C-alpha cells in the first residue's frame, strides 16, 4: 500500500493541500491510462455509477471534450452545462445553478470560469469533489499536470530540467500552475515576456524572470509558448504585434539558442505565426499534439484519484 504524506484531497482547485508524492502518483497512473487509450476497448469500469458534470462558464471546446472523454473512458456518466445556453442568462445565480445540479445527484464538478476563485465557490456550494478546469488568471492544475507529464515522458524525470515559458505570463493561469508544479517536481522555470506581461511577484526559488527571449531559452530543455490573450488586454500591454513577434515568438531561430533536442509545448489554442511560428508548431520539436493526447490520460488519472471509492 502506498502511503501519502497528505490526507486524500477532496478537490483539485490548485495544488494547495496536494503532496508532491500524490501529484507524482497521478503522473505515474497516467501511464496506465494512456495504455487504456491504446486498447481495443478504450474504457475501464473504475468510476461506473458516478455522474460527472462539466460546468463551463467560459468557452473551451478542447478542455471540455478532454475532460468528458476522460470521464467516459472511466465509465462515469457525463452531463454538460454550458453557461451561454443556461438560466444564468435569465438571472439565476452561480449558487442556485450549482445547488440545482447537486440536487440532481451529480457526484463531481469540473468547472471553468473567467473569474479567479470561481472553482472554490462551486466546491463550496456543491460539497462535491470539484476539479478546476481553469479559473481566471489563477490556476489550471490539470494543464500543468499534463505539461509536466509530457516533459517527463520526454526526459524520464523533471529534476534539474530547465523549462522556459514565454509570452503573456501576466494573464496566464497555465504559467502560474506550471511554475508551481514544475518547481515542486524539481525543474527550474524561466518566465519570459515583455515587462508589461511579466509579473515580478512570480520570481522565487528555481524561478527566473527575464524580458530577453534568447537569454530565457539558453539551456532550456523545454520551451512553452503561451497564447497572447488579447481578449484580456484592456490596457496598453503591448507596443505592437510585429514588435511582439520580433521579440518573443517561439520559432526555429529562437530555438537554436535552446539545448539541442529541446521540445516545444503550447497549451492551446494556438495563434500560429503570432506567439509560435507555424513551422515550429508543426516541426519535429513540437509535442503539442502529444500534450493533447496526454491531457486525456492525465485527466483520467485525476478523476480516478479524486473519485474512486467516493460514490
Partner 1 sequence: MQLKASILTSEELRRALTRIAHEILERNKGAEGLALVGVHTRGIPLAARLAAKLRELEGVDVPLGRLDITLYRDDLSEIARQPVIRETQLDFDMQPRRIILVDDVLYTGRTVRAALDALLDLGRPQSIQLAVLVDRGHRELPIRADYVGKNLPTARTELVKVKLEETDGVDAVELWERDGTPEQA
Site map (CB under 8 A) of partner 1, residues 62-101, x = contact: ------------x---------------------------
**Length, in residues, of the chain:** 311
Q: Are 28 and 298 in contact, with CB atoms under 8 Å apart?
A: no
Assign 3-state DSSP to the chain and report helix, strand, coil percentages, each to 5: 45, 15, 40
- Kindly tell me which residue out of 9, 16, 32, 253 binds partner 1, with binding defined by CB under 8 A: 32
Peptide bond into 210 cis (omega under 30): no
In the complex, the smallest distance separating the C-beta of residue 310 from partner 1, rounded to whole angstroms, is 7
- 311 belongs to the binding site for partner 1 (CB under 8 A): yes
Number of other residues whose CB lies within 10 A of the CB of residue 161: 22
3-state DSSP assignment of residue 270: coil
Number of other residues whose CB lies within 10 A of the CB of residue 295: 27
- 6 belongs to the binding site for partner 1 (CB under 8 A): no
In whole angstroms, give the CA distance from residue 231 to residue 229.
5
Grid cell at residue 114: 473567467
- Kindly tell me which residue out of 19, 20, 29, 229 binds partner 1, with binding defined by CB under 8 A: 29
Nearest 10 degrees: Cα torsion 18, 179, 164, 138: 120
Comparison of 31 and 157: residue with beta carbon closer to partner 1? 31
- 41 belongs to the binding site for partner 1 (CB under 8 A): yes
DSSP 100-111: HHHHTT--EEEE
Q: Is 269 among the annotated ligand-binding positions?
A: yes
- 45 belongs to the binding site for partner 1 (CB under 8 A): yes
In the complex, the smallest distance separating the C-beta of residue 283 from partner 1, rounded to whole angstroms, is 32
* Interface positions with partner 1 (CB under 8 A): 1-2, 8, 25, 28-29, 31-32, 35-36, 39-41, 43-46, 74, 304-305, 308-311
Binding residues: 62-63, 90, 112, 140, 143, 173, 227, 268-269
Binding residues for carbamoyl phosphate: 62-63, 112, 140, 143, 268-269
Binding residues for L-aspartate: 90, 173, 227
Amino acid at each position: 500500500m502506498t502511503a501519502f504524506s497528505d490526507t486524500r484531497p477532496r478537490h483539485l482547485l490548485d495544488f494547495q493541500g496536494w503532496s508532491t508524492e500524490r501529484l507524482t502518483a497521478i503522473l505515474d497512473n497516467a501511464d496506465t491510462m494512456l495504455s487504456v487509450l491504446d486498447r481495443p476497448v478504450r474504457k475501464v469500469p473504475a468510476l461506473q455509477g458516478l455522474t460527472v458534470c462539466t460546468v463551463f462558464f467560459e468557452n473551451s471546446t478542447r478542455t471540455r471534450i478532454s475532460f468528458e472523454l476522460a470521464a467516459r473512458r472511466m465509465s462515469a456518466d457525463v452531463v454538460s452545462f454550458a453557461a451561454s445556453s443556461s438560466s444564468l442568462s435569465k438571472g439565476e445565480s452561480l449558487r442556485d445553478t450549482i445547488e440545482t445540479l447537486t440536487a440532481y445527484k451529480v457526484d463531481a464538478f469540473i468547472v471553468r470560469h473567467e473569474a479567479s476563485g470561481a472553482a472554490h465557490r462551486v466546491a463550496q456550494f456543491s460539497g462535491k469533489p470539484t476539479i478546476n478546469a481553469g479559473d481566471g488568471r489563477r490556476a489550471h492544475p490539470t494543464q500543468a499536470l499534463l505539461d509536466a507529464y509530457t516533459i517527463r515522458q520526454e526526459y524520464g524525470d523533471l529534476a534539474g530540467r530547465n523549462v522556459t515559458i514565454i509570452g503573456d505570463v501576466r494573464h496566464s493561469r497555465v504559467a502560474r500552475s506550471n511554475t508551481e508544479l514544475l518547481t515542486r517536481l524539481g525543474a527550474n522555470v524561466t518566465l519570459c515576456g515583455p515587462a508589461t506581461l511579466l509579473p515580478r511577484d512570480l520570481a522565487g526559488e528555481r524561478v527566473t524572470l527575464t524580458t530577453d527571449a534568447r537569454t530565457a531559452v539558453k539551456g532550456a530543455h523545454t520551451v512553452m509558448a503561451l497564447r497572447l490573450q488579447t481578449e484580456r488586454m484592456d490596457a496598453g500591454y503591448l507596443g505592437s504585434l510585429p514588435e511582439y513577434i520580433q521579440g518573443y515568438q517561439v520559432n526555429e531561430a529562437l530555438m537554436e539558442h535552446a539545448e539541442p533536442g529541446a521540445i516545444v509545448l503550447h497549451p492551446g489554442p494556438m495563434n500560429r505565426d503570432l506567439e509560435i511560428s507555424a513551422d515550429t508548431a508543426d516541426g519535429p520539436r513540437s509535442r503539442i499534439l502529444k500534450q493533447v493526447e496526454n491531457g486525456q490520460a492525465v485527466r483520467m488519472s485525476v478523476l480516478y484519484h479524486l473519485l474512486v471509492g467516493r460514490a
